[in-house]
Amino acid sequence: MKAFIAASLLVSLCACSSLSDRPYPLEVVTSENSSERVRFLVMHYTAIDFDRSLRALTLPSNNPVSSHYLIPERDDPSYPHDELKVFQLVDEHRRAWHAGPGKWEDREQVNDQSIGIEIVNRAHCHPPMEQTKAGICFFPEFDREQIELVIQLSKDILARNPDITPTRVVGHGDILPQFKNDPGPRFPWQQLAAAGVGAWYDDATVIRYFDQLSAATETDPADSEREFVGLLAAYGYGIDPKDYTETDLSLYVSAFQYHFRAWKVDGEIDAHSHAILLALIEKYFPENLPENYRTGTMPETDG
Rg (CA), the chain: 22
Query: How far, in whole angstroms, is CA 6 from its chain's centroid?
Result: 28
CA–CA–CA angle 10, 5, 144 (5° rounding): 80
User: Which residues are tagged catalytic?
Assistant: 118
Give, in order, the Cα–Cα distances in Å from 48 to each of 51, 72, 74, 78, 123: 8, 11, 14, 10, 8
Extract long-range pairs of 218-221: CB within 8 Å, 24+ residues apart.
218/299, 218/300, 218/301, 218/302, 219/299
The count of C-alpha atoms lying within 13 angstroms of the C-alpha of 49, restricted to the half-sphere facing its C-beta, is 8
User: Do residues 43 and 98 lie in contact, with contact meaning Cβ atoms separated by under 8 Å?
Assistant: no
Cα(283)–Cα(42) distance, rounded to whole angstroms? Answer: 21
